[in-house]
Structure 1
Amino acid sequence: MSENRLTNILVPVFAVILGIIAGAIVMLVSGYDPIAGYSALLYGAFGDRYYIGETIRQVTPYILAGLAVAFAFRTGLFNIGVEGQLIVGWLAAVWVGVSFELPKVIHLPLAIVAAALAGALWGFIPGFLKARFRVHEVIVTIMMV
């Protein structure tokens, strides 16, 4: 393994360890037991099948939003307005969810496709303005949040 690759792995691990230590210090200064706090955190996220499902359900939008920002950044753009795209996608999915009475096998994919299309349309606006009129994407996406 090359030194650069090892550094790319160790830096995030070291950051997480430092975050855990900083959190423990804050808990100690506040008069709380860090072991009990982190135990409750782990049990609340992974202690039961239901909790695992809830953790996945709640964390998925953040992961997808992070991937959207990372993808845009890799192409040299700054997608500051990913929150707006996420909200518009959620709105489209909810609209499909409450407007149609369909079997689950059709309803779920339809809601997902509607959310993806709505988010893509919301992201198309700053993309079009950047490509056509050279308007800076950060300004437009901030205004669209």
Structure 2
Amino acid sequence: MKLLEEKTAAIVDKLFEEEEEEDSLETDSSAEDEEILRIARCLRKLGDEYNNVIQAHMENLKPEFKYLETDQGPETFSGLVNYLNSKPELQTHLQQLGSEMNVLRIAVVLGIQIVREVPELIPKVKTAMINFFNTKLLSWVQRSGGWEEIVRCTDSSQ
């Protein structure tokens, strides 16, 4: 399980590197690095359809961003994901994809949107996302066969 937690952290790091420098792939990267990059890109695509809906809620969520900078950051991020997950407009694919996949999509887009709004929160958002994935979704990721299987399943369902 520790290895999966470390891979989750690497994926979140790569997700935000992709945000900073779109399509950056080092030529000397290992096969594992390329796999992590592929997973991060897939997670970004996975949440694309939620971008507009979540963007519409960002103004209401902004007062909560200050709590991301405190020790309450992971709990705040989790609460924001739960809040968005309760919105009917984000439930459209819940039956098709399952609740974990829906939560994963929301968490990815929320993290990216927060960083776009407040770039200096990148380290705190990364930490909160890693914590969220490792506490709320890690057992599902493991039961599903790992991140590679999750993105493989999403590739075939889109």
> Structure 2 length as normaliser, TM-score?
0.27
Of the two, which has the highest radius of gyration? 1
TM-score (structure 1 length as normaliser): 0.29
